[in-house]
Chains A and B, each alone.
Chain A
Amino acid sequence: MSRTSIIEVRGLCNRFGRNSVHEDLDLDLYRGEILGVVGGSGTGKSVLLRSIVGLNRPVAGEVRLFGQNLLALPAAERSRLEQRLGVLFQGGALFSSLTVRENVALPLIEHAGLSRRDAEELAEVKLALSGLAPHAGDLYPASLSGGMVKRVSLARALALDPDVVFLDEPTAGLDPIGAAAFDQLILTLRNALGLTVFMVTHDLDSLWTACDRIAVLSQKRVLVADEPAKVAQYDDPWIRDYFNGPRGRAAYQAVQES
Chain B
Amino acid sequence: MVETNEPRVLQKSDGLVLTGAWTLAQHGVLKRLLAATPAPDADVSLEAITELDTAGATLLGNWLGVERLGELVQQQNLTPERRALLETLVKAMGRPQPEPPPEPGRITQMLEFLGRNTQSLGQKWWLQSGFIGLVLQATLGIMFRPARWRLTALVNQIHQTGFNAVPIVALLTFLVGAVVAFLGATVLSEFGAEIYTVNLVAYSFLREFGVLLTAILLAGRTASAFTAQIGSMKANEELDALRTLGLNPIELLVIPRVLALMLTLPLLTFVAIISGLTGGALVSLVSLGIPLDQYLGILADVELRHYLVGLAKAPMFAFVVATIGCLEGFKVSGSAESVGRHTTSSVVQSIFMVILLDALAAMFCMEMGW
Q: Which residues of A contact B (CB under 8 A)?
A: 96-97, 108, 112-114, 118, 121-122, 124-126, 128-129, 134-135, 140-143, 158, 160-161, 188-189, 191-194
Contacts and interface: CB of A to CB of B under 8 A. Distances in A.
A112 B27 contact: yes
B335 interface: yes
A143 B95 contact: no
Say what secondary structure dominates the interface of chain A. helix
Given A122-B55, A191-B84, A193-B85, A135 B27 contact: no
Interface string B306-336: 0000000000000000000000000001111
A47 B89 CA distance: 34
A143 B334 contact: yes
B92 interface: yes
Contacts of A121: 58, 62
Given A125-B92, A129-B88, A113 B54 contact: no
A134 B25 contact: no
A183 to B, nearest CB: 16
Contacts of B336: 96
A128 B92 contact: yes
Say what secondary structure dominates the interface of chain B. helix
Interface in B246-295: none
Contact of B54 (A125, A140, A191): A125
Which of B53, B55, B89, B98 neighbours the largest number of chain A CB atoms within 10 Å of its CB? B55
Nearest to A95: B337
B93 A125 contact: yes
Given A96-B336, A142-B333, A191-B81, A161 B95 contact: no
A158 B359 CA distance: 58
Contacts of A140: 335
B23 interface: yes
Given A125-B92, A128-B92, A188-B88, A161 B54 contact: yes
Contact of B98 (A135, A158, A192): A135
A161 B58 contact: no
Nearest to B338: A142
Interface in B87-103: 87-89, 92-93, 95-98
B95 A134 contact: yes
B24 interface: yes
A158 B37 CA distance: 29
Contacts of A129: 54, 88-89, 92
Contact of B25 (A112, A126, A128, A194): A112
Nearest to A98: B337
A256 to B, nearest CB: 26
B40 interface: no
Interface string B48-78: 0000011100100010000000000000000
Given A125-B54, A134-B96, 6 more contacts: A96-B337, A128-B93, A143-B334, A160-B24, A161-B54, A191-B81
Interface string B22-53: 01110110010000000000000000000001
A125 B89 CA distance: 8
Interface in B319-365: 333-338
Nearest to B93: A125
A161 B23 contact: yes
A160 B95 CA distance: 22
A221 B87 CA distance: 41
A125 to B, nearest CB: 5
B55 A161 contact: yes
Contact of B335 (A124, A141, A192): A141
A110 B192 CA distance: 67
Contacts of B23: 161
B53 to A, nearest CB: 4
Contacts of B85: 192-193
Contacts of B87: 192
Contact of B97 (A112, A134, A141): A134
B366 to A, nearest CB: 47
A142 B335 contact: yes
B201 to A, nearest CB: 46
A158 B54 contact: yes
